[in-house]
């Protein structure tokens, strides 16, 4: 649901900001929120300021960053319902990755349940056949790719949880990769933008809040 909200906000921003700007400000709001909740919150257990499994944390961040980047790009190229529907292949991708890399059993009943849930998403998103047929091949590929990378990020999260990684690093892995990757293009594009309304900055904030 939150991904749909994020897609809708990105659609409202439209061409007034680049995808890198959207990713950067989303990540900045997310990381600030996570750090504040960890520093001043009442989360149980000790706080770890260094990950136990930095390689898997980094891999989760890379998968998550690519997923968000591809998803927001696809939203700009496709009707919203089509982009949301195609991106929802991530539970199937996560199940396949968990079978390949974590040794989890992939039962036929589970596969059937995933396909049924994808059908439910289709009923909610209601992508019109004409919209799907007329969609650009690039947009479709980006939306499907985002679903695959989300599945990879979820598989990494499962591996980190099983290894006892702290919640903070599960949450911070994505913005810590996205911030340095998106910052150069975001600032360059932001400096070139002229006449940007104040509402865009509120939409950037909403984009980050919708990602919590």
Residue indicated by tokens 């909740």: 37
Number of other CB atoms surrounding residue 168 within 10 Å: 18
pTM (predicted TM-score):
0.84
Q: How far apart are CA 192 and CA 185, in angstroms?
A: 11
For the chain, what is the mean pLDDT? Answer: 84
The two three-digit tokens of residue 91, written as one number: 């539970």
What is the DSSP code (8-state) at residue 163? T
Sign of CA dihedral 24, 25, 28, 30: negative
With CA atoms as reference, report the closest residue to 171 among 70, 39, 22, 61: 61
Ranges in the chain, pLDDT < 70 = 1, 41-48, 118, 120-135, 190-195, 212
């Amino acid at each position: 649901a939150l991904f749909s909200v994020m897609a809708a906000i990105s659609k409202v921003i439209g061409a007034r900001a680049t995808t890198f700007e959207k990713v950067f400000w989303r990540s900045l709001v997310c990381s600030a929120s996570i750090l504040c909740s960890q520093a001043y919150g009442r989360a149980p257990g000790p706080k770890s300021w260094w990950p136990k499994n930095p390689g898997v944390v980094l891999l989760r961040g890379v998968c998550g960053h690519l997923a968000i980047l591809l998803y927001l790009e696809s939203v700009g190229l496709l009707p919203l319902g089509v982009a949301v529907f195609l991106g929802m292949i991530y539970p199937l991708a996560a199940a396949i990755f968990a079978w390949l890399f974590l040794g989890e059993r992939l039962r036929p009943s589970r596969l059937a349940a995933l396909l049924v849930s994808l059908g439910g998403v289709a009923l909610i998103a209601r992508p019109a056949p004409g919209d799907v047929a007329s969609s650009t091949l690039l947009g479709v590929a980006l939306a499907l790719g985002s679903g695959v990378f989300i599945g990879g990020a979820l598989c990494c999260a499962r591996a980190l949880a099983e290894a006892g990684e702290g919640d903070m690093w599960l949450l911070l892995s994505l913005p810590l990769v996205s911030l340095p990757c998106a910052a150069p293009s975001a600032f360059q594009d932001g400096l070139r933008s002229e006449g940007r309304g104040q509402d865009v900055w509120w939409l950037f904030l909403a984009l980050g809040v919708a990602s919590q």
